[in-house]
Structure 1
Amino acid sequence: MFLPTTREEMEKLGWKELDIILVTGDAYVDHPSFGVSLIGHYLVSFGFKVGIIAQPDWKSEKDITRLGRPRLFFGVTAGNVDSMVANYTASMKKRKTDDYTPGGISGKRPDRATIVYTNLIKRCFPGVPVVLGGIEASLRRFAHYDWWSNRVRKSVLVDSKADLLVYGMGEKAVLEIAKTLAETGDLEKCKSICGVVWWTSQKPSEGVELPSFDEISENPEKYAEAIKLQTWYTDPHRNIPIYQRQDTRYVVQNPPQPPLSQEELDQIYLLPFEREVHPFYARMGRVKAIETVKFSITAVRGCFGSCSFCALTQHQTTHISYRSEESILEEVKLLIKRKDFKGTITDVGGPTANLYGSRCTVRETRGQCRKFCLYPGVCRGVQPDHDRFIALLESIRKLPSVRNVFVSSGIRHDFVFAENDLDIFIRELVKYTPGQLKLAPEHAHPKVLSLMRKPPVELFLEFKRRFEAFAQKMGKKKYVIGYFIVGHPGEGWKENNYLRDFILRHLGYFPQQIQIFTPTPGTVSTAMYYSGIDPFTGEKVYVEKSLKVRNKMKENVLFKKRREEK
């Protein structure tokens, strides 16, 4: 069912009042890939009445007040993407389109949406608690370097004057907040919930203290130190609070919630999602973001990768959770019943599809090690289980009405080489690839790759060789396509030319996508960009900050294509 977005829809459900109202910067898409829908249905499954206000007009009180005053709290998210990333390109230009808005119209969400929506709610509903969540809030929970303003900003909790912030995949924390407020009405009791960030005027008596907002603002190297501490100590097994002074207050991060168990994951993805854009937004135009995920299956959460530029380490964490085969098959059966199902499951995976079934006993019992799981090589403690992933795909393909099953989300090719029977997995993977298998070597130069925490590019080439050889033997025209990033810390013209020459010499095609590195809040790469050092080694890192030069680096990598087009 769709969650109500108007009073009329509330009345049809027999609801006179809502317990919780969720506000999002995306259009309302009732699909488990959209965080606000997932949280909303999860809360409803526990008996709470939840409504959604999507992409409200922040210059008016009309939209934000249309569902009335919630009994417990407002939940606020910028959407599936940080609002600044959604609104601006890597060249700092306003985006012309927005995949999360009907008709692709840009400008339907404000810059720093979390702050703007919170201020609007506080003005219209004084006294109602506001709880922040989603990727924007999660990655801006402490003082952070903000590339768009080129300065350090305080925690979004402080800047927005919200009451609480939930970080990470927040189902459990949001549910505990709802239950606590319903039972006691005491916001203070919510400040002991795991997965929550709050502020206080008193210095905490225990925990890890990060460099303060003032220290980070005055000394960029302190920001690198803060990111390293967050990375090591944000772990449910360590059970350690982290706090940071910001002016006269302290922002306190409680230990994270444990990852959802398999049973919990199974249940949450089988909730009654419509898997459609809400009719109110659908009538205004196509929402492109649903098209790639509508017939996809989330099988796994988390990633062992710890890539420097990726937000997963700070948001979904390096802990791996995966669903049972039975639950996934049940979800596929629900998709098959849809009138618009054409026989193809477009993706089975998650952040890294081939981590499905994998384990690390050390992480499961003691938490994150003081080393990286997949860099500089795959740790011996990590146990891949590619047979289980292939068996899952085979089971899906055997279901009636399923003609194709594809793996379109991330494949970690270096992890494949940790498997004894890697050729068996690669051969099987060919069957589940829709023409092109998209991998992300990200760069070719060893120095840049080491700063990215990515494997040597030779592994990518070897994987590509084996995959395409198997495809040819099977009579299939299938290829491996690489994605690359330019402008990452550590890349100067020498490294950029190295990447260009690698592509021309080894790939024989022009990449579909060359991204310019965007320093998003909270990542290790952003700490390098701001501080000029590697947070984990203290090594000085060259950083190219000129937008003009970074654009030329992209053009340089694609120079032959540009010359042929003239």
Structure 2
Amino acid sequence: MEKQRLSDWLPTTNKEVKIRGWDALDVILFSGDAYVDHPSFGPAVIGRILESYGLRVAIVPQPSVHDDLQDFTKLGRPKLFFGVTGGCMDPMVSNYTASKKRRDKDAYTPNGDKGFRPDYATSVYSKILKEKFPDVPVLIGGIEASLRRVTHYDYWSDKLMPTILETSKADMLVYGMGEQPLREVVKLLQKGVPFSSLRTIPQTAFLVHGDERIPKNKNWEDVEIYPHEVCLRNKKKFAANFKVVEQESNKIQAKRIFQGVNQKTLVINPPYPTMTEDEIDASFDLPYTRLPHPKYNKRGPIPAFEMIKFSINIHRGCFGGCSFCTISAHQGKFIASRSQESILKEVDKVANMPDFKGYLSDIGGPSANMYQMKGKIQSICDKCVAPSCISPVICSNLDTSHKPLTTLYQEVDKHPKVKKSFIGSGIRHDMLVPEFNKNADPKELDAYTEEVMTKHVSGRLKVAPEHTSDPVLKLMRKPSFKYFHKFKERFDKINLKHGLKQQLIPYFISNHPACELEDMANLAAETKDMGFQLEQVQGFTPTPMTVATVIYYSGYHPYTLKPTRTPKSKKEKDQQHRFFFWYKKENQNWIKNTLFNLGRKDLAEKLVPSTQNKNWQRVPTRKVKNTFDDAIPSGKRMGKSKPKGRKKRR
């Protein structure tokens, strides 16, 4: 690999701008993350996309908001607009734990140092820019803007907040993946169209003041949801809004959404169609250095980068639609897959990095095994309004063949410098069970499972059944736990066949809506019976734009509007969590007494029998994390203090 020069990165200072010979900038980006020039980091992708359109682009990573605010003025005034993002994770998730305690580390900052990203960073940055440059348009995007585009519940302040366009004072919001709307924004601006006239670009949102006309578009139908002020007074109407927003966000032919807020009208234009293979390839094939900016060389490694440094993201999107997950709200439910050629080209680039030792840490995405999966008959998908393609059952129109993925793994492993490629993203185990995935050829499913277990796992395979209670799983949009049993049977057979000692690592969530104390006791007892001794559990964290969060705040399921309870008090959460530690002596009397009071002496005997069995498999599951699924740079489902995953929180 050729030695890289400072000018290989997007400029971050006036000195770097001058190195490129520029006397002015077209776009200046502000990000809550440190600048890592890698296709898994959104700010870098946006910068490279804009650069590919011939624009002169600079980026100001983690500007200081504690001094004279010179970071916001040092590069001057851009010709077209400022772009603002809070980073690859919602800043509140980056800054706080599920118990609302400030985190000790920030995975997207050198050395994991905290304090470089303000709370609600997108709004903070945008308001400063509007104060300093009131006549320069500000365009916001990224996961924070995307998930806060309508009235939403903010867990950390424990209140409903209006669209982030209102709090940030920004001129336009791009939601979801930004490549397609930005292409149109730049195209029109270069033609001389004023920024204020950009009102009919798909996948954008903006506010219309009372005296302005809402632009017409004969190609779109419109739908109006309850105003922000009504939501503040009526939790059921707030819940009802979410059904509309989620369905329209995941439709091929979506409606334009209107919402009143403070005597203005929020307009959310329908999304673009799913990116084609050529479009997503073009995004990943841009000239990234794949490295952090040299300015960080003396500050220490960036944890999020170190985690995905030798990983390959092969697709975007997730059709699981899990109730606690934000991936589909940001990346969409339809899968955009890269071509095998583009992926292998990136593998070659990674393999030739100076410090590559022969091991790829992950070939995955928000979910590891959704590559190249889509509807068999597109016209059926065009009419679909279901938020999930695999809940409550797998859609008969969904092609769930794992053969393209198995073939891809085998092609990657043919590279002479690749000793082993791991699958670090979470695998949808239910899709590998023929009893659940009736669309697929059982032989293909077994071939994929065997390929993964024998060649792409280092002792442990991560899967996410999430719970054992069918009512809770139904609300989660996850399949019955019986399919986890079925998968474990197949897993054990392959272990035996090849003389392996692979471990199955199941992930579970406590405190989820509809989950009662007895459900957690059942979960603990059933996993104990299976030989698992769970050491840690993920606590449900309400994050904007999920079914579970709407239920948490409002008490109503947005699709049925029926009352649905959620554990909310610290006492309830601690009690649910405690069942995972049935093997600790200090918990045993409490477990017995609690289950006796619930009339479940049978469960008490299972969890705390008179003679303890010591032969349990100790399984480290996720620590208490958040559920922003695409927060991990590689797109993995992330629990979402991982420096993870989705891919994408899960």
TM-score category (smaller protein): over 0.9
Q: Deviations over 1:432-465 (max 9, x none)?
A: 1222111111111111111111111121222123
SS at 1:308's partner residue?
coil
Q: Which residue of 2 aligns with 1:453?
A: 477
Aligned counterparts, 1:539-558, within 5 A:
539-558=562-581
Q: Deviations over 1:19-74 (max 9, x none)?
A: 11111111111111110001111111121111111111112312122222111111
Aligned counterparts, 1:226-305, within 5 A:
226-235=241-250, 237-305=252-320
Aligned counterparts, 1:220-231, within 5 A:
220-231=235-246
SS at 1:208's partner residue?
strand
Say which of 32, 35, 42 aligns to 2:42: 35
**Aligned residue pair count:** 564
Q: Does 1:390 find its partner at 2:390?
A: no
1:132–1:165: 8 Å Cα contact kept in structure 2? yes
Once residues 363 and 411 of structure 1 are traced to their aligned partners in structure 2, the CA distance between those partners, rounded to angstroms, is: 26
* Matched letter for residue 197 of structure 1: A
2:321–2:387: 8 Å Cα contact kept in structure 1? no
| Superposed displacement of residue 107, structure 1 | 1.8
* Matched letter for residue 159 of structure 1: T
Q: Which residue of 2 aligns with 1:313?
A: 328
User: Is the alpha carbon distance of 1:90 and 1:195 closer, same or farther for their aligned partners in structure 2, counting shifts above 3 Å?
Assistant: same
User: Is the alpha carbon distance of 1:21 and 1:551 closer, same or farther for their aligned partners in structure 2, counting shifts above 3 Å?
Assistant: farther
* Matched letter for residue 414 of structure 2: K
1:235–1:367: 8 Å Cα contact kept in structure 2? no
SS at 2:530's partner residue?
helix
Say which of 214, 223, 226 aligns to 1:208: 223
Q: Which residue of 2 aligns with 1:162?
A: 170
Once residues 282 and 26 of structure 1 are traced to their aligned partners in structure 2, the CA distance between those partners, rounded to angstroms, is: 16
SS at 1:348's partner residue?
strand
Say which of 228, 232, 238 aligns to 1:217: 232
| Superposed displacement of residue 469, structure 1 | 2.6
Q: Runs of 4+ in structure 1 displaced over 4 angstroms?
A: 202-206, 362-365, 561-565
User: Is the alpha carbon distance of 1:451 and 1:236 closer, same or farther for their aligned partners in structure 2, counting shifts above 3 Å?
Assistant: closer
User: Is the alpha carbon distance of 1:317 and 1:26 closer, same or farther for their aligned partners in structure 2, counting shifts above 3 Å?
Assistant: same
Q: Deviations over 1:336-358 (max 9, x none)?
A: 11111111111111111211121
User: Is the alpha carbon distance of 1:437 and 1:367 closer, same or farther for their aligned partners in structure 2, counting shifts above 3 Å?
Assistant: farther
| Superposed displacement of residue 218, structure 1 | 1.0
| Superposed displacement of residue 267, structure 1 | 1.7
User: Is the alpha carbon distance of 1:441 and 1:506 closer, same or farther for their aligned partners in structure 2, counting shifts above 3 Å?
Assistant: same
| Superposed displacement of residue 203, structure 1 | 7.4
* Matched letter for residue 204 of structure 2: V
Once residues 551 and 103 of structure 1 are traced to their aligned partners in structure 2, the CA distance between those partners, rounded to angstroms, is: 32
| Superposed displacement of residue 155, structure 1 | 0.3
Q: Please, which runs of 5 or more residues in structure 2 have no aligned partner?
A: 1-7, 589-650
Say which of 183, 196, 199 aligns to 1:191: 199
2:323–2:477: 8 Å Cα contact kept in structure 1? yes
SS at 1:490's partner residue?
coil
1:203–1:250: 8 Å Cα contact kept in structure 2? no
* Matched letter for residue 434 of structure 1: S
Q: Which residue of 2 aligns with 1:373?
A: 389
Q: Identity, % of aligned pairs? A: 41
Q: CA RMSD for the aligned pairs?
A: 1.8
* Matched letter for residue 169 of structure 1: M
Q: Which residue of 2 aligns with 1:443?
A: 467
2:334–2:374: 8 Å Cα contact kept in structure 1? no
Say which of 149, 154, 159 aligns to 1:146: 154
Q: Which residue of 2 aligns with 1:423?
A: 446
Higher relative contact order (CA 8 A, sep 6+): 2
User: Is the alpha carbon distance of 1:472 and 1:159 closer, same or farther for their aligned partners in structure 2, counting shifts above 3 Å?
Assistant: same
Once residues 167 and 340 of structure 2 are traced to their aligned partners in structure 1, the CA distance between those partners, rounded to angstroms, is: 43
| Superposed displacement of residue 373, structure 1 | 1.3
Say which of 522, 531, 537 aligns to 2:545: 522
| Superposed displacement of residue 363, structure 1 | 5.3
Once residues 388 and 479 of structure 2 are traced to their aligned partners in structure 1, the CA distance between those partners, rounded to angstroms, is: 12
Say which of 533, 543, 548 aligns to 1:509: 533
SS at 1:148's partner residue?
coil
Once residues 338 and 158 of structure 2 are traced to their aligned partners in structure 1, the CA distance between those partners, rounded to angstroms, is: 41
Say which of 422, 427, 433 aligns to 1:406: 422
